[in-house]
Amino acid sequence: MSAGADSGGTAGRGLTAAHDAAGLRNVGICAHIDAGKTTLTERILFLTGVERYVGRVDEGTSVMDWMTEERERGITITAATTRVPWRGAEINLVDTPGHVDFTVEVERCMRVLDGAVVVLDGTKGVEPQTETVWRQVERRGLPAIAFANKCERPGADVLRCAEDIAERFGRRAVVVAYPIGGGDTDAPLTGVVDLVHMRAQALDAAGQRTLSKVPRSVADEAAVLRAELVDALAEIDEGLFAVVCEGRTPTSEELLAALRTQTLARTVVPLFAGAALMGHGVALLLDGVASVLPSPSEGRPPELFHVASGAPFDGAVPALLALNFKVHSKVRRGERSDLHFVRIYAGELGPGSRVWNGRTGHTEEIVAVLRIHASDVEHIERAGPGDVVALAGLRETGTGDTLTTEGADARLEPPTIPTPVLGYLVEPRSDKDRDGLRAALEQLAREDPSLHASLDPESGQWLLEGMGELHLAIAMARLSDEFGVEPRHGPPRVALRESVRASAVGVGLVDRAYGDAWGNARVEIELEPEAEPAAVPVVEFEGTALDLPRTARRALEGALLAESSSGPTAGHPVVGVTVRVTGATSERDSAPEVAWAQAGLAALRDALKHAAAKAAGIRLVEPWMSFVVDTPVDVSGGVIGDLNSRHAVMDEILSTGTVGRRVVGSAPLRELIGYSTELRSLSKGRATFSLRPRGLDFAPAGSSAGAPGASGEGPA
Ligand code: GDP
């Protein structure tokens, strides 16, 4: 039997019942860079008949990589979605970005998935970066299956991958596919054994699946692995346990049912195997997606939040709920056209549907509902709950927004955005580019709320801030490729903050006319350093300050928070302090709110001035990163010495195998700029590392943070 009949090809397109969610699968292929996600996706598109030829990443023809710079870099950053049919199921492949810089985007894409396919490099097993990806899958509580890729290569070892998953993820991996040849055997990879049905799956000349008996070369291993699969599942699955107790060998259906139940319960991770590059094992993996991963109705119900406060929402669920998880913008001849990728949780959307956005408070009309099939686009009349589609016609909706019924006070994503950690000073090449640059930066920030752009009116420069080096590099590339502005930019500068070392007090007094009213206000303030710097200062009221009317207190608090956005020594935002308003008095009966705000502001400046004048004065606070570096032992001395010189705090150094060392710790982000280049040269390309944001902390003693020029110079 060939897989041509399996897939149904493209024939069913357009006839798919949008409202039948039982056969729907919203899955993300989750992998770190180089594990083979793009190659696997291409292969899936080919197998399911959506693409007539297999695009090769290495040749730059990948159809999932929409944007030019992705093609140039060979990595996948934009989250698009593609619909593929597979044996009666309809699979929405949601492209999840794998780079750690894009955590906001990854999180959001994870939120719209019901299941995950985690790709490992079969020759490397679980790498530190795989753990980052896995943590994201875990955090969302997604049922997952895994795919050991590159199994034709020497060193590929599916059983070791299974052990790794158990050891590093703490989840039992059950091997459901076993390579025929490849790895460290002498034979080339010719296919995989489906251990549930005990059949061999190979490929015909056209790259489609053929089925046959399990070849003798792997018959023994396959038999042992199948017995292990049955035992492992019978231990935890009641249904299968009953079958085994009867003394029967379970049928494939019984085994599959147990596998599905336990995958959904997240007690096991089925491990598939193959080589995406040749296409081995990919059809079986798709069977797995269709047969063991959940449909939208089996996934967890979405969490809801109140629109403004972000507090958990427990009222009646609105009749329409859809999360906008990606905006894809193109500007052609000055006209912007956006595609909004949404996951629908409740209600239906079609052309002409009117949707309400609680963030903007506006209703917008959908012009078209589209289903994206890799490179071509299908207009559909209606999309229902559980579906992932693209919408055209929305003008004001941004990434992370919820589309719902008018006036509903519920949103799907909490309104928090992590503080950017790295920025560039950006300026137009000439004055005539100024408006274009402004429009382009605003557009980028709207698409991706983890990018911030702010204008310094004095210098005319923009500060473009984001989540890391690559994040900013991509934004810069888009500015020139898509928006046609080619701004100059300076070296990356880390977003530094200031904090005080010791407590300090300050007093502010105003006594002047405000229009017809006279304002007399005196505010006293005490600054108290916090042991661990939080991202924004805490404001507390005490003593006579408690007697202030609520509106005056609010004005005062607002002024204090605004003033603390620029610290006393270098103008960085002040964090890691509690601002206590200990007194607020007026010689008159009352004072206008603005008088309280101005007195508070003066008091805070006074206190910061006193703090800065003290011996230890001001402390710099900066973003830190946690790292895991894997290095061969013979170069580990140099790698560790280099980390020391970067003021890294090393938590542990472990042996990995006989010839490897793993260094786990954290360091200021500022010290890690350009680290990949340095590590490559120190280890001749043999060491690898992964980074993840650890939050704000004090700059290490003796580091150069805060020294002149440490925060970067202007554009070159
Ligand atoms: P991504 O970064 O996860 O999207 O990974 P890619 O799909 O771009 O693959 C990274 C590299 O691994 C490319 O050079 C691919 O050709 C290669 N690759 C992918 N799958 C296989 C495979 O099955 N076998 C081998 N040998 N190489 C593969």
Give residue 603's identity as a one-letter amino acid code.
Answer: A
Say if ligand 1 is within 6 A of residue 31 CB: yes
Looking at residue 386, its pLDDT comes to: 94
Atom of ligand 1 minimally distant from the CA of 153: 26
Say if ligand 1 is within 6 A of residue 189 CB: no
Contact, 124 vs 37, CB < 8 A? no
Say if ligand 1 is within 6 A of residue 74 CB: yes
Say if ligand 1 is within 6 A of residue 77 CB: no
Looking at residue 615, its pLDDT comes to: 64
Residues whose CB falls within 8 Å of the CB of residue 641, separated by 6 or more in sequence, listed in order: none
Would you say how long the chain is, in residues? 716
**Residue range 461-498, pLDDT digits in tens:** 888 988 777 788 888 888 888 888 888 888 888 888 88
Looking at residue 71, its pLDDT comes to: 43
Q: Higher-confidence residue: 691 or 89?
A: 89
Does residue 42 surpass a pLDDT of 80?
Answer: yes
**Phi and psi torsions of 103, nearest 5°:** -60, -40
46 by DSSP, 3-state: which?
helix
CA torsion angle for 26, 692, 130, 448 (degrees, to 10)?
30
Distance 371 CA to ligand 1 centre (A): 27
Say if ligand 1 is within 6 A of residue 36 CB: yes
Contact, 454 vs 565, CB < 8 A? no
Say if ligand 1 is within 6 A of residue 37 CB: yes
Alpha-carbon span 593 to 557, nearest angstrom: 11
Does residue 585 surpass a pLDDT of 80?
Answer: yes
Q: Residue 390 is encoded by which pair of tokens?
A: 């693209």
**Residue range 292-329, pLDDT digits in tens:** 999 999 977 888 988 877 778 888 889 999 999 888 77
Say if ligand 1 is within 6 A of residue 99 CB: no
* Three-state secondary structure readout of 265-318: CCCEEEEEECECCCCECHHHHHHHHHHHCCCHHHCCCCCCECCCCCCECCCCCC
**What value does the CA radius of gyration of the chain take, rounded to a whole number of Å?**
29
Mean pLDDT of 115-144: 88
Say if ligand 1 is within 6 A of residue 75 CB: yes
Distance 691 CA to ligand 1 centre (A): 22
The packing angle between helices 238-245 and 216-236, to 10°, is 110
Distances (CA, A) of 142 to 63, 173, 286: 27, 15, 17
The CB density around residue 125, as the number of other CB atoms within 10 Å, is 21
Looking at residue 332, its pLDDT comes to: 54
Say if ligand 1 is within 6 A of residue 148 CB: no
Residue nearest ligand 1's atom 11 by CA: 34
Atom of ligand 1 minimally distant from the CA of 75: 2
Does residue 278 surpass a pLDDT of 90?
Answer: yes
Say if ligand 1 is within 6 A of residue 506 CB: no
Atom of ligand 1 minimally distant from the CA of 275: 23
Say if ligand 1 is within 6 A of residue 648 CB: no
Contact, 686 vs 631, CB < 8 A? yes
Distance 49 CA to ligand 1 centre (A): 21
Residue nearest ligand 1's atom 9 by CA: 36
What percent of the chain shows pLDDT beyond 70?
A: 87
Say if ligand 1 is within 6 A of residue 465 CB: no
Structure letter (DSSP) for residue 249: P
Q: Residue 97 is encoded by which pair of tokens?
A: 């970005």
Looking at residue 189, its pLDDT comes to: 97
Counting Cα atoms < 13 Å in the Cβ hemisphere of 245 gives 8
Please choose from 37, 100, 120, 277 the residue to mutate so as to test ligand 1's pocket, defined by most ligand atoms within 8 A of CB. 277
Looking at residue 279, its pLDDT comes to: 96
- Chain centre distance of CA 233: 32
**Residue range 181-197, pLDDT digits in tens:** 999 999 999 999 999 99
Atom of ligand 1 minimally distant from the CA of 278: 23
Contact, 171 vs 268, CB < 8 A? yes
Alpha-carbon span 253 to 364, nearest angstrom: 48
Q: Residue 61 is encoded by which pair of tokens?
A: 């023809």
Most confident region among 69-73, 216-220, 671-675, 696-700 by mean pLDDT: 216-220
Atom of ligand 1 minimally distant from the CA of 41: 7
Nearest to 578 by CA among 506, 501, 507, 526: 526
Distance 30 CA to ligand 1 centre (A): 14
The mean pLDDT of the chain is: 84
Say if ligand 1 is within 6 A of residue 117 CB: no
**Residue range 517-527, pLDDT digits in tens:** 888 999 999 99
Looking at residue 480, its pLDDT comes to: 86
Please choose from 30, 32, 34 the residue to mutate so as to test ligand 1's pocket, defined by most ligand atoms within 8 A of CB. 34
Distance 60 CA to ligand 1 centre (A): 12
Q: Residue 685 is encoded by which pair of tokens?
A: 């390309």
CA torsion angle for 378, 382, 385, 390 (degrees, to 10)?
40
Alpha-carbon span 140 to 14, nearest angstrom: 31
* DSSP of 212-227: EPPPHHHHHHHHHHHH
Looking at residue 76, its pLDDT comes to: 38
Atom of ligand 1 minimally distant from the CA of 56: 16
Counting Cα atoms < 13 Å in the Cβ hemisphere of 362 gives 10
Contact, 524 vs 505, CB < 8 A? yes
235 by DSSP, 3-state: which?
helix
Looking at residue 709, its pLDDT comes to: 34
